[in-house]
Amino acid sequence: MLSVTNLEVVYNDVVLVLRGISLDVPAGQIVALLGANGAGKTTTMRAVTGLLDIHDGDVTKGHVTFGGVDVTSKDPSYIVKLGISQVMEGRRIFAEMSVDENLRAGAFTNTNRKHVEGALDRVMTLFPLLAERRKSVAGYMSGGEQQMLAIGRALMQDPKLLILDEPSLGLAPKLVQTIRDIIVEINQQGTAVLLIEQNANMALSIAHHGYVMETGKMVMDGSPKMLLKDADVQEFYLGLHSEGEKKNFRDVKHYKRRKRWLS
C-alpha cells in the first residue's frame, strides 16, 4: 500500500536528515518504525504526508508511492483524500472545541453525510468514553482521553492507512495497553497502520513487521520476533543487557552505538 524508496530529505538546503531510507506498509498490516529521538522518524512521516514544506524540508532523492500513485512532495490535502490519516506526536487536538466538533473537523474531506455518520458511529464504538463526553471541551480532558480523541478524529475520513506518531508518549502503562488494543482493533477492521514509536515492547507486540532507524538510516528490519531477540534492540530499546539484566536509564542514554549501525 505504502512504499518509501531510497528517500533523502534535507532541511533548509543544508541538513541531511534522511539518508536513503526505504520501507513498505502492506495493505491490512501494522508496521512499526522504531528509533530514538532525532533518528528521523517524524521526518519520515512528514515526507509521506506532504508536510515537509512547513518545516523547510525537501525530498532530494527517492520517492513515496501510495496505492501505486506517486505522492512525493504532493500537497497534504491531496494525500489525505487518497486515504492517509495521521495522528501527530502531542495529539494536536483543538483544545477550545468540544469532542464532537473535533471529530467532525476530522471529516472535513468526507463530503458524504452518510459516510460521516458511519465514521462517527465507528469512532464512538471504538471509544465509548468519547461517546459519553461528546459535549465536553477537549482541552479539559486527560492525556489519555485526548489521545483517543486524536485517533478518533483521524479515523473520521475512513482512511486506508493510519499513521500514528508516538501514541504512547506520556501515558500511564494501563493507558498504553488500552491504546495498543485499540490499534489492533482498528487494524482488524481493515485499516493499515504505520506505528512510529520509541516503545519497542508495545509496538512489536502488535506489528507484523518492524524497522529500526538510527541517524536518518534504516539499520535493521524484520519480523517482531526477530527484532525482539536482537541484542542491539534489547539493549538500546528495551534496556536489557548481560543475560536480560535491566540497565539504569542513565546508562542506556549514554550507550555506544554499534559501528555497524553508523556505517
Going from the N-terminus, what domains does the chain have, and what CATH number goes with each?
Answer: 2-83+159-231 (3.40.50.300), 93-158 (no CATH)
CA–CA distance, 229 with 241 (Å, rounded to integer): 12
- Kindly report the length of the chain: 263
pTM: 0.88
Task: Please say whether the beta carbons of 218 and 212 come within 8 A.
Answer: yes
Distance between CA atoms of residues 135 and 98, nearest Å: 5
* Nearest 10 degrees: Cα torsion 254, 200, 88, 183: -170
Mean pLDDT, to the nearest integer, of 90-101? 89
What's the pLDDT band for 171 if we cut at 50, 70, 90? confident
Listed in sequence order, the residues at least 6 apart from 218 whose beta carbon sits closer than 8 Å to its beta carbon are: 21, 22, 23, 211, 212
For residues 236 and 257, what is the distance between their CA atoms, to the nearest angstrom? 8
Alpha carbons 42 and 27: distance in angstroms, whole number: 21
Average pLDDT over residues 8-20: 94
The C-alpha cell that represents 99 in the structure block: 469532542
Distance, CA of 163 to CA of 157 (rounded, Å): 13
Question: Which pLDDT does position 254 carry in this prediction?
Answer: 42
Break the chain down into helix, strand, coil percent, rounded to 5: 40, 25, 35
66: pLDDT confidence band, cut at 50, 70 and 90? Answer: very high
The residue that leads in pLDDT, 133 or 234, is 133
Give the pLDDT of residue 116: 87
If we measure between CA atoms, which residue out of 222, 220, 223 comes closest to residue 236? 220
User: Is 255 a residue whose pLDDT tops 70?
Assistant: no
**Across residues 244-256, what is the average pLDDT?**
47
Confidence of residue 107 (pLDDT cuts 50, 70, 90): confident
